[in-house]
C-alpha cells in the first residue's frame, strides 16, 4: 500500500492534527509520516504543542505509537483511498 502521508507539509498546512484531551493539553500536527505507522519504531515528523512549549510548539520526529489516534486515522484514510 502506498504511503500517501509521505509528502511533507508546511507547518501552516499540516496533514492532520491529532488532539488528545488530557490534563496536559498536548497537540500533535503531523507534517510527514515515515512509512507505515503500524510498524514498530515508525516515526512521524511533527509540530508538537504542549504546556511546556507554548503556542509555537517544537518540531521533530515522534514515534507514531505516541500520537493518539494516528494509526487509526492513517488506516481509515488508506482504506478509503484504496476503494
pLDDT tens readout for residues 1-10: 566 566 666 6
Q: Which domain holds residue 75?
A: 16-81
Residue 31 lies in a domain: yes
Closest CA to 73 of 8, 16, 7, 28: 16
Residue 64 lies in a domain: yes
Question: What was the pLDDT predicted at 73?
Answer: 82
- CA 43/CA 33 separation, integer angstroms: 6
Residue 53 lies in a domain: yes
Residue 76 lies in a domain: yes
User: What digits encode the pLDDT tens for the residues 23-78?
Assistant: 468 888 888 888 888 888 999 888 888 889 888 889 999 998 888 888 888 888 77
Number of domains in the chain: 1
Question: What was the pLDDT predicted at 81?
Answer: 67
**Cell numbers 484531551: residue:** 21
Amino acid at each position: 500500500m502506498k504511503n500517501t502521508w509521505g509528502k511533507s507539509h508546511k507547518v501552516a498546512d499540516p496533514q492532520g492534527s491529532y488532539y488528545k484531551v488530557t490534563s496536559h493539553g498536548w497537540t500533535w500536527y503531523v507534517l510527514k509520516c515515515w512509512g507505515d505507522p503500524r510498524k514498530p519504531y515508525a516515526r512521524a515528523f511533527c509540530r508538537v504543542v504542549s504546556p511546556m512549549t507554548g503556542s509555537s510548539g517544537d518540531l521533530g520526529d515522534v514515534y507514531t505509537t505516541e500520537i493518539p489516534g494516528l494509526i487509526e486515522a492513517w488506516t481509515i484514510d488508506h482504506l478509503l483511498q484504496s476503494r
